[in-house]
Structures are given as structure tokens and as C-alpha cells.
A = this chain, B = another copy of it.
């Protein structure tokens, strides 16, 4: 397997700052770590990388405090003292899906709109002697991380803000891929292969089309992973519906019809974010259920019903939803290693004096896959969304190109099974001991 290397020197230099003199003389400052947005199968592997690496450098970094439920924990001074957790429990984070400290969907407003929130963060950090801010998330949290680093500079508070990349959507720029994505991709590729084997068995008298709905509201990376179900030595008829490609009903139905005529069956992998020519999500049908409640979500049943109505084919459909991003049981080994490496590199970058940066995965070679750890300045990461390049989608819009396959294949490589007991994976739940509050008064979010 590829090994994480030291951050590339050149990039590192660009963002290196002199270490605040305060830190060099006084007792080491503490670190704050928080998980942000939708969790993944491997975000805890990044937490593991942060905490284990910080513990190794206890002369440079004091304790690691985690935000309970993400940044909300910092705002409300609800901090978790990770030093109360055993070495074994921290190690077990590497194989535990979800966010061990809780995450949140809470986007800080702009500095102009809500300066008070940013100042509050600095107050809390000051109260707990926090000099390192590790924020583990996607695009929004990279932006927050960037703003906090700006404000702390402005206020003269010695804070190094490092963003740790995470998102199943794989839409962060600069980094080769985002930890969290590889494992979803592996889960979708495997599930698509398995379900396609199933429908192939049933097609003679029963189901001929299987539809699986996957995540990815704006970018079709996860949908693209469905195409990995089919390989040279195991070709399968897979039709992909990307959010990047406007849905064309006639063209789609002709594609499915062709596949079924040729193979007897096919599988459709549809992104939740697919939109029709009117710009509306296909999933948004304005339906009401028997109880009169608005029926939410579910582009898979829409596609499936269309196939039945227009082609008269029997179908089955699945919606993977959380199962795909929580599926630590079949995580990609590459992904777990990179998630851990990003957490570890974040701490190493901090120790070296970096600020307002994000460690990245740098692809060195495709076959065999080799990668190194790089570093990107946060102002180049924040608010940039990486979409599927046009040359990653096949000309008919229903598949991936060889270039896309070359990119994706290494990301699902290797298995990294969690330990099992009595047939169930042993995922850790931490004690999450709260740190004593030091500030007076409540702060409501």
C-alpha cells in the first residue's frame, strides 16, 4: 500500500509562518477539534489521526478538546476532554463510522453579518488556552476555518486554523479526493454489482430493471462510482444518471430499452440531484401519500415508475441514503489510510507553524496507486466546488470515460474490515467527558 509521506516541502513553505513566540516559551497550547456536516465512514479515522498525533507531540500540543456536536460545542463552550479516553478507544475510532463527538449542520454567517459568533469562538478558545483549531469538514467548514483564522489574526489571538478535508461528495478542490468519498464509492460499486447479479438472475420472468438512488446533490462523483460495478472481466449493463446532465426522458428510456433488449436486464444508478429540463429535481414530484403528507425524496421510485409506465418493464428500486456513507463494514482501505493521514498531517502542519491551510492528497501515480500528503492554502479551498470534469462523463451522458475510471479505481482499493464480535462490528462509543466551563453566561445558537 501507498504510504503517506511528509507534506510536500514547496507547498509547505508557502504557508509557513513564524511560530507565535508565546507558544515557544509557555506551556503548550491546547487543540480544538470538531466534525462538521454530514458524517462519513471514515471521519473518525481523521479524528484518530489528529488525537494520536497530538498525543505523540505533547510537548507542542497540550490536550485535544473536541466540540460536542461540532462547532456548536465551541460556541456553547460544550467541550469534550479527549484526554479522558483510553488509547484503545481512540485507536478504535479508526474503524468506527459516524461522528464520535457529534457533528452539526450549522453554517456560520459572514464576518460582517455575525461577527459576534466568531468573537465568541475566540473567547472560548482563549478561556481554554486553545491555540490550534482543527476543523474536519467540507466546503462550508473550510470557509469557516478560513474566516476564523482571519479574525484571530485581526484580534491578535495566536490561533492556527487547519482544515481537515472530509466529504462523501468529493467536491473539495486541489486535493486528489476527499476522505469519505472512497468508501461510499466502494459501497456503491459493490452494491451495484451485487444487485445487478440479482436482477440478472430474475430477469427471465420477473424484474428486468433495478434502480438504485445514490447521494450527490450537485456533483455526480458517487453516481459515477456505480459504473465501477462493471469491469473488463465482469461486464454489466449499468446506466448512470448524473446531476451534471439534464435528464432527457426519451433518451434515457431508449438507453434502458436497448440494454434490456441486449442483456435481458440492466441497472440504473441515479443521483438524488438529477434535474429535468425545467431545472427542478426529478425527486420533487409534489406527491402526497395516503395520509395527505407531502412525500419527500425518492428519485428512484420516480425513475422506476417511468420505466414501468413507458417500457412496461418490471422493476425493483433501492435508496441507499445513510447506508452508503455509514458503511464502515466495507470501507475502502485507501480511504481509511488517507482519512487518518489527513488528521495526522493537520497536526504536523500545525506543529510546523502552518496556519489557514488544509492537508491534501496528492496523486503521484495511478498504477500502482501512489500518493503523498500535500498542503493547500484555505483561501484557495473555501467556496470552490469541484464538479465532475466534462471528460469524465461518456459522450451519451450515461456512463464514465476511461479517464474517469483511471481516477476512481484506486480510491476503492483494499478492504479494511472492522473487528467483529458475535457477528456484529465493534464500533466504539466514547465517554465524551465534558470539560468544565470557564465562561459565565450562556451563548445561544
Q: Interface code A167-210, partner B: CB below 8 Å = 1, 0 otherwise?
A: 00000000000000000001001110111011111111110001
In this assembly, does A304 line the interface, its C-beta being within 8 Å of a C-beta of chain B?
Answer: yes
Q: How many residues of A contact B (CB 8 A)?
A: 88
**In contact, A290 and B206 (Cβ under 8 angstroms):** yes
**In contact, B295 and A195 (Cβ under 8 angstroms):** no
Bound together, the chains give a CA A417 to CA B282 distance in angstroms of: 37
In this assembly, does A321 line the interface, its C-beta being within 8 Å of a C-beta of chain B?
Answer: yes
User: Given A197-B96, A427-B197, is A205 in contact with B296 using a C-beta cutoff of 8 Å?
Assistant: no
Bound together, the chains give a CA A195 to CA B308 distance in angstroms of: 31
Complex contacts, A412 vs chain B, CB 8 Å: 422-424
**In contact, B290 and A186 (Cβ under 8 angstroms):** no
Most buried by B among A35, A316, A322, A417: A322
**In contact, B195 and A323 (Cβ under 8 angstroms):** yes
**In contact, A198 and B289 (Cβ under 8 angstroms):** no
**In contact, B319 and A291 (Cβ under 8 angstroms):** no
**In contact, B323 and A191 (Cβ under 8 angstroms):** yes
Complex contacts, A355 vs chain B, CB 8 Å: none
In this assembly, does A97 line the interface, its C-beta being within 8 Å of a C-beta of chain B?
Answer: yes
User: Given A197-B97, A320-B318, is A422 in contact with B427 using a C-beta cutoff of 8 Å?
Assistant: no
In this assembly, does A220 line the interface, its C-beta being within 8 Å of a C-beta of chain B?
Answer: no
Bound together, the chains give a CA A200 to CA B97 distance in angstroms of: 11
* Chain A 304-358 residues near chain B, CB threshold 8 A: 304-306, 308-309, 314, 316-323, 325-330, 332
**In contact, B319 and A189 (Cβ under 8 angstroms):** no
Bound together, the chains give a CA A317 to CA B320 distance in angstroms of: 8
Bound together, the chains give a CA A106 to CA B204 distance in angstroms of: 10
User: Given A320-B323, A330-B330, A417-B417, is A105 in contact with B293 using a C-beta cutoff of 8 Å?
Assistant: no
Q: Which of B306, B318, B420 contacts A323 (CB 8 A)?
A: B318
Q: Which of B197, B297, B417 contacts A326 (CB 8 A)?
A: B197
| A191 to chain B: closest residue by CB | B323
Bound together, the chains give a CA A41 to CA B198 distance in angstroms of: 9
User: Given A38-B202, A193-B424, A201-B35, is A314 in contact with B301 using a C-beta cutoff of 8 Å?
Assistant: no
Bound together, the chains give a CA A413 to CA B210 distance in angstroms of: 29
Complex contacts, A328 vs chain B, CB 8 Å: 194
User: Given A98-B200, A306-B293, A327-B194, is A105 in contact with B322 using a C-beta cutoff of 8 Å?
Assistant: no
Complex contacts, A326 vs chain B, CB 8 Å: 191, 194-195, 197-198
Bound together, the chains give a CA A308 to CA B295 distance in angstroms of: 10
In this assembly, does A231 line the interface, its C-beta being within 8 Å of a C-beta of chain B?
Answer: yes
| A411 to chain B: closest residue by CB | B423
**In contact, A291 and B309 (Cβ under 8 angstroms):** yes
* Shortest CB distance A121–B (Å): 17
Bound together, the chains give a CA A191 to CA B212 distance in angstroms of: 16
User: Given A98-B201, A190-B425, A329-B194, is A317 in contact with B318 using a C-beta cutoff of 8 Å?
Assistant: no
Complex contacts, A98 vs chain B, CB 8 Å: 194, 197-198, 200-201
| 9 chain-A/chain-B pairs, Cβ below 8 angstroms | A38-B202, A102-B201, A194-B425, A293-B305, A293-B306, A318-B320, A318-B323, A415-B417, A415-B420
Closest 8 CB pairs of A and B: A99-B201, A98-B197, A412-B423, A318-B321, A194-B326, A293-B305, A69-B204, A198-B326
Given contacts A206-B289, A231-B424, A317-B319, 18 further A-B contacts (CB under 8 A): A69-B205, A98-B198, A99-B201, A102-B201, A102-B203, A105-B202, A194-B323, A229-B424, A287-B308, A289-B305, A293-B308, A294-B309, A296-B305, A301-B301, A316-B321, A320-B323, A415-B417, A417-B417
